[in-house]
Chains A and B, each alone.
Chain A
Amino acid sequence: MSDTEPPEKKPKIICNLSNIYLDTIDQCIESISSSERNLQPIISDELTQPLEFINVFVGHIKNVKDISRTILILNDKIPLKELSHLKRVRRQDIILCPTKFLDNMSSIQDYIESHVTELRDVFDYFKEVNVPLLPPKVMKQYNEVRKIWSCNFHPNHYFEKLVSNHFFSVYDVKIHRKFMEVAFEIAKWYAIHDGVAFDINNILLTIVNVTVVVDPNFNRIVTIAYDYRHDHPMQHSAMLAIDNVAKTQNGGVWSTESNDGLLPGIDKELVHFLKQKFSQFIIGLKKTNWSGAKGGQKMDTDGEKGGPKSDSHEENKEKDGPYLCTGYYVYMLREPCVMCAMALVHARAKRVFFCFNNSVCGALNSVAKLQTISSLNHHFEVFTGFL
């Protein structure tokens, strides 16, 4: 007995790990599908972080009758272009200039007396106040600012929606969670059929990645891709998915086995499994599918603009055929790396959803947020918070 035990040890460990892995996936699927919590948009720090402040000199006006005259003179003598989001006056306090403006060369009193002589007798005292350097973007910031100084603010409906905890309708949350489930089921399917190389330190990061591309207008899974980087260092799942989408548009470069052209590179058995498991979704896209059936109630694909698109609009779109990943949603297990995230920008994906952060090189939340870089020519929305 003892001589048969040692060779068995190694496979046993792998077997345990893969059981842990499959259990972990099952737990993830369970929490993703049982939760109704809304998803979290990943947005620019400008909307979420506390405002930056700048120190300014403020003069207190003795007589309220002098206020309007004082404003006119100050706007002429010391214009404050970079602080134009602030009202110059708050009650009897008026902003004179940033403190750094005087650079400790003279006191504010001396400065006013020598440079703005018309106002030498207007103030009874001076003080320093910290005022916001930039205009508030959302109501929450505005309410902070208001306590300190009067400020111009025009609420932006879309920004407010982004910082709220109810970006998606209850119905849409369910669908997004269902599509993320698809990604996990694919990971599980590959783990069972092909096995996985395990990282003993973090079993979840063992999951390389899965990408599911969806046309939200028809609840159609346009393509799926499983990470192939162990064999080809560029074939991260998002890169493969983008090439698969190209194949649905008579393009593509990577030779992946085709199963009747529906989901290139994807095992027929897996397609069959997904069709059974997720019968509410249409799976695969052929050219002839462009005017295909619509799957139930449509998701709100226009974000804040809302409302379903008119049929005539859709017909026009179908005649032209799809272009890259325009209008598509992308669901991934893990935050895409810098390469994949930028590839999705090039592909003009409409929304990207992911489950786990990629702290090493994730470019939509962890090391950078490509969706907030204004010089890029395309910006998608990014959501997480499935678990």
Chain B
Amino acid sequence: MVEFMKRALELASEALSAQEVPVGCVFTINDTIVAESRNSVNHTRNPTRHAEMNCIDSVLEHCKKNGIDHASYFRNVVVYVTVEPCIMCAAALNILNVNEVVYGCANDRFGGYTVLDVRKFYEPNYLLTGNLCADEAMALLKQFYKGANPNAPETKAKKKPS
């Protein structure tokens, strides 16, 4: 489902222009987008406002407004996110029991799969696939970390996803 990842990448670029870590995320149900967001940590001064968490809140709000049971709603959600969800977001998506998570590039500092496979703590857990448009996702991250510290050597910037 490349089109959803492309949309997530657009949101990630939007984050980059807002001087946030460029991660974008789209929630879908039956191939229709039901929520989309991006990282907003710096603006909110809240280090947990990752793209996934923002999408989760917007779904919860939607459910509350329309009297929908969010537990059953999340069960049908497929998540497209440009960077592998961190341990926190991976746990959140497991708590909510989403159906599937598709990510772009791996996250070797915080990844909820690469660093610690969070799925093993939850039963049932979601289906996980990576490497969809990974290069584009990584390119955005590199651009951010280059901009954040012009003195940072290239190798250092490479090592810092999300």
Binding site for B on A (CB under 8 A): 232-234, 239, 242-243, 246, 249-253, 324, 337-339, 342-343, 345-348, 361, 363, 367-368, 370, 373, 375-377
| Docked-complex contact A252 and B60, CB < 8 angstroms | no
A373/B60 contact (C-beta < 8 A), A252-B45, A343-B47 known:
no
| Docked-complex contact A246 and B46, CB < 8 angstroms | yes
Tell me the smallest distance from the CB of A342 to a CB of chain B, in Å: 4
Contact of B60 among A233, A342, A367, A368 (CB under 8 A): A233
| Docked-complex contact A239 and B115, CB < 8 angstroms | no
Q: Across the interface, which residues of B come within 8 angstroms of A367, CB to CB?
A: 121
Q: Across the interface, which residues of B come within 8 angstroms of A345, CB to CB?
A: 87-88
**How many residues in B have their beta carbons less than 8 Å from beta carbons of A?**
30
Q: Across the interface, which residues of A come within 8 angstroms of B70, CB to CB?
A: 233
Q: Across the interface, which residues of A come within 8 angstroms of B91, CB to CB?
A: 337-339, 342, 361, 363
| Docked-complex contact B109 and A376, CB < 8 angstroms | yes
Q: How many pairs, one residue from A and one from B, have CB atoms within 8 Å of each other in the complex?
A: 86
Q: C-beta contact mask, B37-53 vs A, less than 8 Å → 1, else 0?
A: 00010011111110001
Q: Across the interface, which residues of A come within 8 angstroms of B86, CB to CB?
A: 342, 346
Q: Across the interface, which residues of A come within 8 angstroms of B109, CB to CB?
A: 375-377
Residue of B nearest to A238 (CB): B48
| Docked-complex contact B108 and A252, CB < 8 angstroms | no
| Docked-complex contact A346 and B44, CB < 8 angstroms | no
| Docked-complex contact B121 and A242, CB < 8 angstroms | no
A337 to B121, CA, bound (A): 10
Contact of B46 among A234, A243, A370 (CB under 8 A): A243
With A246-B45, A342-B110, A373-B115 given, name 14 new contacts (CB 8 A): A239-B48, A243-B46, A243-B48, A337-B95, A338-B121, A346-B47, A346-B86, A347-B48, A361-B121, A363-B87, A373-B116, A375-B108, A377-B109, A377-B110
A347 to B48, CA, bound (A): 8
| Docked-complex contact B108 and A343, CB < 8 angstroms | no
A373 to B45, CA, bound (A): 25
Residue of A nearest to B61 (CB): A232
